[in-house]
Amino acid sequence: MNTSDFDFSLPPELIAQQPLPGRSESRMMVVDRGRRSVRHDRFRNFPGFLSRGEVLVLNDTRVIPARLWGTKDGRDIEFLLVKETTAGTWRALCRPARRLRPGDTVDFAEGYRAVVTAADEEGGRTLRFSPGSAAVLMARAGYAPLPPYIKRGKKMADRREEDLSRYQTVFAGPAGSIAAPTAGLHFTPEVLAAVEARGVEIAWLTLNVGLATFRPVRARRVEDHRLLEEDTVISPEAARAVNAARSEGRPVTAVGTTSVRALESAAAAGDGRVLDGRRAAGLFIRPGYEFRVVDRLLTNFHLPKSTLLMLVAALAGLDLVQSAYAEAVRERYRFFSYGDCMLII
């Protein structure tokens, strides 16, 4: 399958640059696979699409304020702290990367410093902070790691607190992600309460969103792309809830592509049953994949030629997804992280 099969044209003005005032006021496109139809709704009505006994799976990861600015020789450098590999040592992306070589010292806000200890071929750098100082620095001076299609420019400082709040789910728990599980951004405490009031069981898992989620597909053939692994944790309670639903014929609805990958990766390791525990999720879900766990999906609208769009097409079918996306463009839906959502039933 060609990567170009997942391309589409999107007017730039449809890329949402800020969240709506109310999280649950987003539009929701309902894609019915059985009827091969599309209809339009609002996310606030999402609980009405769920049934008693259904299991709703959410990713409770917390986004860290991983975007930082530092200086070397008086020149500004932007950093994205990707992952702490050992205490005080972080893998980071930076730009312009050419200014940093192993042995260089970077100055950050409030007197914090880091030493560049290694460089890789993809433009990444390894930084060594004093243990614990990176977390304090991010809390005091870090910004939400918004994707590059959300433009802040000179207003970034003015929008810092809002983005730190809104680029985070209301149910965020363990910290570790450098991008939000965006389908979860639409939920409010009231929506969650309405879900539970319908007799729906909520199961929580954690997938720390890393580079795999937004790493571009550069291969001409989809099959040649290598998906990076991301850390996941599934509790025994969540695994039991999902496995019981599967064995009893009750539907499992995943919130976000990250929840899908975590569940399906755990099922692949367990020969069809979701295993609890900590593991790396590196399953590349694309058309032709046979789902073991997930029946339905709530997801945002994704970038062209992305692995996220490929996952959606694997569940709903490429033709139906292409038709739904064309309809979303015609109806002026808001796209990507701060945008509207799609419910695949």
Band of residue 121 on the pLDDT scale cut at 50, 70, 90: confident
Strand partners, 266: none
Same domain, 94 and 57: no
Domain presence at residue 153: no
Q: How distant is the alpha carbon of residue 342 from its chain centre?
A: 15
> What is the token pair recorded at 154?
């000179």
- Residue carrying the six token digits 């014929």: 249
Assign residue 135 the CATH number of its domain: 2.40.10.240
Domain presence at residue 227: yes
Q: Is the pLDDT of residue 99 over 90?
A: no
**Mean pLDDT (whole number) for 219-242:** 97
**Mean pLDDT (whole number) for 16-30:** 98
pLDDT tens-digit map of 274-298: 999 999 999 999 999 999 999 999 9
What span, in angstroms and rounded, lies between the C-alpha atoms of 320 and 334?
A: 19
**Mean pLDDT (whole number) for 162-171:** 98
> What is the token pair recorded at 188?
């409010």
**Mean pLDDT (whole number) for 44-63:** 99
Domain presence at residue 159: no
Domain presence at residue 330: yes
Please report the pLDDT score of residue 29 as a whole number.
99
Same domain, 289 and 320: yes
Please report the pLDDT score of residue 212 as a whole number.
85
DSSP 156: T
Band of residue 226 on the pLDDT scale cut at 50, 70, 90: very high
pLDDT tens-digit map of 291-344: 999 999 999 999 999 999 999 999 999 999 999 999 999 999 999 999 999 999
| 3-state SS class at 98 | helix
Band of residue 123 on the pLDDT scale cut at 50, 70, 90: confident
Q: Which of 142, 157, 184 is the last residue of a domain?
A: 142
- Residue carrying the six token digits 């599934």: 234
Total structural domains within the chain: 2
Please report the pLDDT score of residue 176 as a whole number.
97
Same domain, 234 and 321: yes
Same domain, 184 and 294: yes
Domain presence at residue 210: yes
Same domain, 45 and 193: yes
Same domain, 234 and 114: no
Please report the pLDDT score of residue 92 as a whole number.
97
Please report the pLDDT score of residue 310 as a whole number.
98
Same domain, 72 and 36: no
Indicate the helix (H) or strand (E) that contains 328.
helix 318-330
Same domain, 187 and 52: yes
Please report the pLDDT score of residue 228 as a whole number.
92
Same domain, 209 and 317: yes
Q: Percent of the chain at pLDDT above 90? A: 95
Contact 119, 100 (CB under 8 A): yes
Same domain, 113 and 176: no
Q: Is the pLDDT of residue 189 over 80?
A: yes
Please report the pLDDT score of residue 154 as a whole number.
79
DSSP 297: E
Domain presence at residue 114: yes
Domain presence at residue 161: no
Domain presence at residue 196: yes
Same domain, 320 and 276: yes
Assign residue 197 the CATH number of its domain: 3.40.1780.10
Band of residue 213 on the pLDDT scale cut at 50, 70, 90: confident
Kindly report whether the peptide bond that precedes residue 148 is cis, defined as omega within 30 degrees of 0: no
Please report the pLDDT score of residue 293 as a whole number.
98
Q: Is the pLDDT of residue 229 over 80?
A: yes
Q: Is the pLDDT of residue 122 over 80?
A: no
Q: Is the pLDDT of residue 2 over 80?
A: yes
What span, in angstroms and rounded, lies between the C-alpha atoms of 135 and 64?
A: 9
Mean pLDDT score of the chain: 97
Q: Is the full-model pTM beyond 0.85? A: yes
Helices and strands counted in the chain (H then E): 8, 17
Same domain, 131 and 261: no
Q: Which of 126, 142, 158 is the last residue of a domain?
A: 142
Q: Look up the domain containing 136 and give its range.
A: 67-142
Q: Which of 125, 142, 159 is the last residue of a domain?
A: 142
pLDDT tens-digit map of 234-270: 999 999 999 999 999 999 999 999 999 999 999 999 8
Residues in the chain, total: 345
